[in-house]
Amino acid sequence: MKIWFDTEFIEDGKTIDLISIGAIREDGQEFYTEIYECDRSRASPWVQQNVIPHLHGPVTHRIVTAAALKEFAGEKPEFWAYYADYDWVALCQLFGTMMDLPKGWPMYCRDVKQWCDSLGNPKLPDQHSTEHHALADAKWTKQAWDYLYKVNYDADVAASFPRPR
């Protein structure tokens, strides 16, 4: 099952403190929560201005979030994010170390931005929803993936037909 996700977090160059996580599956089911243990007092001015105003719950403990995300994702998920590196680390840390990920889960995340670059960096659709809200950003990441899939599929179909002389 493909899952597009996004996180919001506080980072200081040494640690990543998960604020919220949002995800959408290919069947349209959604997941969103904010993390109770997050120390919002450590948020940078940018996070205070661009992320904190969009937080309206629900709020759950990390252990509850991990269990709910595991159930939401299932046994063999394929995770996608946009500029995925910190998001992936933040998600994985819900379970402890990378070695503690649920059985059947990959130790990597696919990156829509890298896929976009590999296709010549076509312009992605504009995001019309709230930016820096994890669920809204996850939905946009799926929209960007859908667009790239269509661009890639259309290019493959066009390449399979002879070119006119």
Q: What is the DSSP letter of 103?
A: T
Q: Are strands 2-11 and 16-25 parallel, antiparallel or unpaired?
A: antiparallel
Sheet holding 78-81, edge to edge: 59-60, 30-35, 16-25, 2-11, 78-81, 110-111
What does pTM read for this prediction?
0.92
Largest CA-CA distance found in the chain, in angstroms, rounded? 65
- Structure-token pair, residue 60: 């759950």
Q: How far apart are CA 100 and CA 136, in angstroms?
A: 28
Q: For Cα atoms 113, 66, 93, give the angle at the middle one, nearest 5 degrees.
A: 60
Per-residue pLDDT of the chain (165 residues; tens, 9 = 90+): 999 999 999 999 999 999 999 999 999 999 999 999 999 999 999 999 999 999 999 999 999 999 999 999 999 999 999 999 999 999 999 999 999 999 999 999 999 999 999 989 999 999 999 999 999 999 999 999 999 999 877 766 555 545 444
Q: Are 138 and 6 in contact (CB under 8 A)?
A: yes
